[in-house]
Amino acid sequence: MIKVDSLTKRYGAFTAVDDVSFTARPGRVTGFLGPNGAGKSTSMRVMVGLTPATSGYAEVSARRFADLPNPGLEVGVLLDASAQHAGRTGREILTIAQRTMGLPAGRVDEMLERVSLTPTESGRRVRNYSLGMRQRLGIATALLGDPEVLILDEPANGLDPAGIRWMRDLLRGYADQGGTVLLSSHLLHEIEVIADDLVVIGNGRIVAQGTKAELLASAGTLVRTRDVPTLSRALVDADVEFSPMTDALRVEADPDVVGQVALRAGVALTELRAADGAGLEEMFLELTADTQREGVAA
Amino acid sequence: MTATTVEGAVQTEVVRAPRPAPARIPFSRIVTVELRKSFDTRSGFWLMASIGILAVIATGATILFAPDDQLTYDNFAAAIGFPMAVVLPVIAVLSVTSEWSQRTGLTSFTLVPHRGRVIGAKLAVTVGVGVASMLLAAAIGALGNLLGSTIAGTDTVWDVSALELAYIVLANVLGMLIGFMLGVLLRNSAAAIVGYFVISFVLVPLSMLLAQSQAWFEKAQPWVDFNFAQGYLFNGDMSGQHWAQIGVTSLFWLIIPMTIGLWSVLRSEVK
């Protein structure tokens, strides 16, 4: 369990994290989603005590991070896979973490196997690692102490498609066993396939949060017809809000409501479904439109 | 901006079997991990190895080039002492600054979320490495002294007492602490190493010049110039006043800047 309450971090006049509150629950994968520079990494650094908060607080397993007696056994942290001593071997980096946590030496081999780093690879120095290999090593360090909570900042960066699939299965399995997983991403599709709960952040502020199912539901229905004008009139008459997409309508109502409206209007539909991915993507762009770089006039 | 918040329906929570709260990481474990970290890279390993290598080279050079009547332990100690005064503080600097330059602090300070304990462990390792290195260097010098006088056919001269040796070890550890302090204060390898050489090798002649031209500074020098006060340790000439001068100069050159450095390390952001 991770609890973040009214967290604010200011750098002079700039507010990087602005009154952020959310809870990441056990047994669930919580996706921390936002464009670059939205404040995801800063929030995560505050959670693990690397950055002091201006106000508000973050708790992990009901304690401040600094109060955890041996944090590696309770919280697995991966903030930046590149933040490793380039001159150490992968195995040595894991060994240092294993010794710090006071774990048996065998854990290092178990973890290397779990993240599919071969003995040859783990014997190489990290400066020769690809970003994907560094991510695997970072995941191995995070999992080493078999913690109940995982805090991962952009863990899929640099992984190939098979690696992303592997990571997804691994985190799913972790949550299914009762673990709390918080992972950040600026890629919607990456997080959409794995997260149970979503926290969407833009310009330091939370712009939406809830379960993925609810956020998808609130994104409405996607409907297609050859007779758009008739359906549009019927929707206006039914007092249902909608917006035209490139070749369809996105309606702020459940599919069965839209179906009833179309039936009464006698309009033939070619497609009617919950506006799943498309809806969430639109929501993400919409919610972050006034906060993302592309939307800001130079 | 309005935040769209969807109230979550309560989900059935899967709860992991509760585990006993882990014990706090003992300080001794942090020390052994930090010791390991100073040997486990090629650069770290060779920096450590260079202590022995340089001591052997300095000893060999003394045997080869010093006149026969100069083959005394004092001269061996002086020859070895110079490379030690360069290498040991660099080791001290890098033990601290690498956490920032290599960004390993991100892991170190999350696995041990009390930066003071990590820095304290590094300090213990630094002092330990300093003492061990100096004893090793002293032993290599002693072997050189035996070997040199045997080759030259002269009597072996032991003109450094155990107490004087202890003073020299202390002086070198103080030099390391200056390096350590600069590492903590600046948290940048290049800046801290340059800073050390400025303090130890650039300030010394400047201070000498000032003392020669200004009578008031000549009197004040032992109380303000750390290197000057440290010099008594190398001469083996320690009076109560000399200890007081080392104490006063250490306060200004070591303890106060170290305190400022620690204060900022504890509050700074690790990125």
Of the given ranges (B3-12, B29-38, B126-135, B194-203), which has the lowest mean pLDDT?
B3-12
| Residues above pLDDT 90, as percent of chain A | 67
Which of B3, B43, B111 is closest, CB to CB, to A72? B111
**What does the pLDDT average to over A147-176?**
93
Q: Which residues contact B215 (CB under 8 A, 6 or more apart)?
A: none
Q: What is the pLDDT of residue A35?
A: 84
Widest CA span in chain A: 71
Q: How much is the average pLDDT of A224-236?
A: 90
Residue of B nearest to A289 (CA): B1
Question: Which chain B residues touch A51 with a CB distance below 8 Å?
Answer: 269-271
Residue given tokens 């990441």 in the structure block? A24
pLDDT tens figures, A125-134: 999 999 999 9
Q: A117 — phi, psi (to 5°)?
A: -100, 125
| Distance in angstroms (rounded) separating the CA atoms of residues A66 and A82 | 24
**Range A283-293 average pLDDT:** 63
- CA A262, A267, A268, A274 torsion-angle sign: negative
User: Side chain identity at A165, as an amino acid letter?
Assistant: R
Instruction: Please state which CATH class domain A2-211 belongs to.
Output: alpha beta
pLDDT one-digit tens code per residue, A43-82: 999 999 999 999 999 999 999 999 999 999 999 999 999 9
Is residue A103 scored above 60 in pLDDT? Answer: yes
User: Model confidence at A186, in pLDDT bands (50, 70, 90)?
Assistant: confident
How far separated are the first and last CA of chain B, in Å rounded?
30
How far are the Cα atoms of A259, B47, B160 from residue A250, in angstroms, in the given order? 13, 66, 90
* Contact list, A71 vs chain B (CB under 8 Å): 110-113
Q: Is the pLDDT of residue B111 over 60?
A: yes
Choose among A49, A85, A205: nearest Cβ to B104. Answer: A85
Q: What residues have CB less than 8 Å from B120, skipping those under 6 apart?
A: B27, B30
The pLDDT score that the predictor gives to residue B3 is 47
Question: What dihedral do alpha carbons A72, A77, A80, A85 form, nearest 10°?
Answer: 10
pLDDT level of residue B237 (50, 70, 90 thresholds) = confident
Using DSSP, state whether B227 is helix, strand or coil. Answer: helix
CA B52, CA B152: separation in Å to the nearest integer?
24
Select the residue of B9, B21, B107 nearest A97 (Cβ to Cβ).
B107
Chain A residues with CB-CB distance to B11 below 8 A: 25, 27-28, 196, 211
Distance of CA A263 to the CA centre of its chain: 39
CATH topology of domain A220-274: Alpha-Beta Plaits (3.30.70)
Give the tens place of pLDDT for each residue, A80-97. Answer: 999 999 999 999 999 999
Hey, what are A30's tokens? 């919580």
The pLDDT of residue B175? 94
Count the neighbouring beta carbons within 10 Å of the beta carbon of residue A183: 26
DSSP letter string over A219-284? T-EEEEES-HHHHHHHHHHTT--EEE-SSSEEESS-HHHHHHHHHHHTPPEEEEEE-HHHHHHHHH
Q: Does the pLDDT at position A297 exceed 60?
A: no
Residue of chain B nearest A25, judged by CA positions: B13
Check residue B227 and give its pLDDT: 87
> The complex's ipTM?
0.87
Using an 8 Å CB-CB cutoff, list chain B residues near A179: 16
pLDDT confidence of residue A287:
59
Domain boundaries, chain A: 2-211, 220-274
Please indicate whether residue A16 or residue A36 has the higher confidence score (pLDDT). Answer: A16
Question: Which pLDDT belongs to residue B54?
Answer: 95
Which of A48, A65, A7 lies closest to A205 in space, CA to CA? Answer: A7
- Nearest residue on chain B to A214, alpha-carbon basis: B6
Residue A292 — pLDDT band, cuts 50, 70, 90? low
Q: What's the gap in Å between the CA of A247 and the closest CA on chain B?
A: 27
Average pLDDT over residues B240-252: 93
A207/B4 touch (CB, cutoff 8 Å), yes or no: yes
| B37 interaction partners in chain A (CB closer than 8 Å) | 96
Report how many Cβ contacts below 8 Å link chain A to chain B. Answer: 148
Q: Is A5 helix (H, G, I), strand (E, B) or coil?
A: strand
- Beta strand segments in chain B, E: 4-5
Helix (H, G, I), strand (E, B) or coil at B244: helix
